[in-house]
Amino acid sequence: MGDIEKIALQEQRLQFDSFNATTAWELGNRLKTAIEKMNAKAAIDIQMNGQPLFFYAMPGTTPDNVEWVRRKRNVVNRLYRSSYAIGLQLQKQNTTLTDKLGVELKDYATHGGCFPLILKNSGCVGTITVSGLPQRDDHEVIVAVLADMLDQPLTELALGTPSK
């Protein structure tokens, strides 16, 4: 199974029964802890229906990380798919979001690190974004934390070894 298909499986399995500000706080803190354990730094943003519920810019991040969060979040808010999946799909099709939708790169980034916040039986209601690691790592830390939080086996959801 390739990364695009694996991300589709992640999006299918990593869904919440319910979500609120308390859930966002727990998720955000789990992400912060996971990134710290990697000896890394990132900006973390969780929004639901356009409302910010959690934001933390770790020491060592810059306003550029916040800009990447915004641009990746715009992709998920527009297409309801992981920004990494969209980027991989566009790469496979040898095209860009600008070519497909006419959007400006200054407002959209099809790089890994924004995952749709999905409620079962409702669909995408928000976004979970990390910016500061390499794009695949931004994506993978979100998936690992969600898998743990939602009691899903990470072994079935983790991306394979990247192809060179």
Q: Is 30 helix (H, G, I), strand (E, B) or coil?
A: helix
Burial 29-51 (b: 16+ CB within 10 A, else e): ebbbebbeeeebbbbbbbbbeee
List the structure tokens of 83.
């920004």
Within 13 Å and on the Cβ side, how many CA atoms surround 150?
A: 24
Report pTM: 0.96
pLDDT tens string, the chain, 164 residues long: the values are: 799 999 999 999 999 999 999 999 999 999 999 999 999 999 999 999 999 999 999 999 999 999 999 999 999 999 999 999 999 999 999 999 999 999 999 999 999 999 999 999 999 999 999 999 999 999 999 999 999 999 999 999 999 877 65
CA dihedral over 12, 30, 129, 90, signed as positive or negative: negative
CATH of 3-155, one of 3.30.450.150, 2.40.128.90, 3.10.129.10, 3.40.50.720: 3.30.450.150
**What φ, ψ does residue 153 adopt, rounded to 5°?**
-70, 115
